[in-house]
């Protein structure tokens, strides 16, 4: 009790619990006030965070100040997360361990908490043993092999074996024609991220698609549908240290799609699209959230995911799209699942989902500009200057309407804790 003789909130809780325990035949002596107080604070989380990285936690390599404050609220005195957290980035040009290391200046995290745009490729086991052409930059072979691909070849290797194919840069054309034996036939094309020399990658990928994996052969109109293309990261733009957004992998994909259609008159088809806003990405992210909860022995189901991002067309669109999917399945009484065909029937068990909602939280520290308006009429989204989403995703004004808008990630954590009545010690 306080000095006024009234019980404090803690006092009322202790009194209520003691009375309840007494009715159950347990004496007060069996339970100390401190242990009762610990019961009060040991509320298990029923929600998890999906944090974007670029524009939310960092800008390029520069940490956003609010991220440090946010992280201090997410861990206990032992450095353990109080809620399950996954960092979902559309970056795809590095190993996830490197991305985890890049975040070490904010908080020590494990690579199991990092989800790259290419992470779901681990489930595409039917492609793993076959030759694949990989495009992007960074340690591409290491990334591909880490994901399970046994026979990856890079654009640079293909160019080396077929030097006549790369003819845009006159200074790079071979002065002496040497016929190199090329024994690999790409079974599929995997686009990890934006490459450096776009003209070389565009040319050689088109060659592979129009020759059914035999670059150097004449183009053939009969080679349709083309060999499978799996693409990661559809972001048209992203935010670094520059004042304006920079070209993303989505811009490279726009070029590839339009070149293919200009040459063939047909649409380039994707076997799979990964990275936000793909539903597959959010399903896999929820799988990682549940794995964390299981590892920490948190038995309470994770019912709500809070996706915190800075991009309307990827973070908000993807979270809202996944939320519709979850709510639809909830109404129908079925649990959403990642289809077994993704792994070709030889991969891990089909991943069932348990979440009921996925809420979108938009921050104002990245791509999003609060002064830009989203068109109310779907017909206004025909131009790419308005709809920055990928070609294969239908524009819907409702999908780019965030559930919450906050100044930064620190405010986002405060908001979610308040919505969930979560008061960590």
What are the b/e assignments for 396-409, b being 16+ CB within 10 Å?
eeebbebbbbbebb
In this prediction, residues 50-70 reach a mean pLDDT of 90
Tens of pLDDT, residue by residue over 223-266, are 889 999 999 999 898 877 888 889 999 999 999 999 999 999 99
pLDDT at 36: 36
What is the pLDDT confidence band of residue 353, given thresholds at 50, 70 and 90?
Answer: low
Contact 226, 209 (CB under 8 A): yes
Higher per-residue confidence, 177 vs 19: 177
Higher per-residue confidence, 250 vs 17: 250
Tens of pLDDT, residue by residue over 35-50, are 333 334 347 899 999 9
For the domain made up of 121-274, the CATH class stated in words is alpha beta
Q: State the Cα–Cα distance between residues 289 and 316, nearest whole angstrom.
A: 19
Q: Is the CATH number 3.30.460.80 carried by domain 47-117+276-419?
A: no
Q: Which two tokens stand for residue 328?
A: 């639809």
CA proximity to 64, closest of 94, 105, 93: 105
Tens of pLDDT, residue by residue over 185-234, are 889 999 999 999 999 999 999 999 999 999 988 998 788 899 999 999 99
Domain boundaries, the chain: 9-41, 47-117+276-419, 121-274
């Amino acid at each position: 009790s306080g000095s006024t003789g009234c019980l404090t909130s803690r006092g009322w809780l202790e009194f209520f619990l003691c009375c309840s325990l007494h009715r159950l035949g347990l004496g007060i002596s069996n339970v100390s006030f401190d242990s009762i107080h610990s019961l009060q604070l040991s509320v298990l989380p029923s929600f998890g965070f999906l944090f974007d990285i670029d524009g939310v936690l960092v800008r390029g390599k520069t940490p956003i100040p609010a991220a440090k404050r946010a992280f201090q609220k997410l861990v206990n005195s032992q450095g353990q997360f109080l809620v399950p957290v996954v960092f979902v980035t559309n970056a795809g040009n590095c190993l996830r361990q490197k991305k985890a290391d890049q975040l070490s200046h904010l908080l020590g995290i494990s690579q199991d908490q990092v989800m790259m745009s290419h992470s779901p490729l681990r489930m595409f086991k039917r492609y793993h043993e076959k030759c694949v052409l990989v495009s992007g930059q960074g340690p591409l072979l290491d990334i591909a092999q880490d994901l399970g691909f046994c026979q990856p070849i890079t654009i640079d290797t293909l160019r080396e074996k077929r030097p006549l194919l790369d003819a845009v840069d006159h200074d790079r054309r071979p002065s002496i024609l040497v016929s190199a034996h090329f024994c690999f036939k790409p079974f599929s094309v995997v686009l990890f991220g934006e490459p450096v020399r776009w003209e070389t990658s565009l040319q050689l990928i088109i060659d592979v698609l129009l020759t059914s994996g035999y670059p150097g052969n004449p183009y053939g109109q009969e080679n349709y549908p083309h060999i499978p293309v799996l693409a990661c990261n559809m972001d048209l733009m992203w935010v670094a240290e520059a004042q304006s957004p920079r070209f993303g992998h989505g811009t490279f994909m726009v070029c590839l799609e339009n070149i293919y259609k200009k040459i063939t008159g047909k649409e380039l088809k994707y076997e799979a699209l990964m990275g936000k806003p793909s539903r597959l990405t959010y399903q896999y992210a929820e799988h990682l959230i549940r794995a964390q909860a299981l590892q920490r022995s948190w038995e309470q189901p994770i019912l709500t995911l809070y996706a915190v991002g800075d991009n309307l067309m990827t973070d908000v669109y993807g979270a809202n799209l996944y939320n519709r999917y979850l709510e639809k399945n909830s109404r129908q009484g079925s649990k959403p699942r990642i289809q077994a065909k993704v792994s070709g029937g030889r991969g891990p068990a089909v991943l069932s989902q348990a979440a009921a909602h996925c809420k979108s939280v938009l921050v104002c520290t990245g791509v999003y500009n609060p002064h830009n308006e989203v068109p109310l009429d779907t017909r206004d989204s025909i131009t790419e200057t308005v709809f920055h989403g990928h070609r294969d995703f239908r524009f819907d004004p409702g999908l780019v309407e965030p559930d919450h808008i906050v100044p930064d990630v620190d405010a986002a954590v405060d908001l979610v804790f308040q919505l969930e009545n979560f008061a960590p010690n």
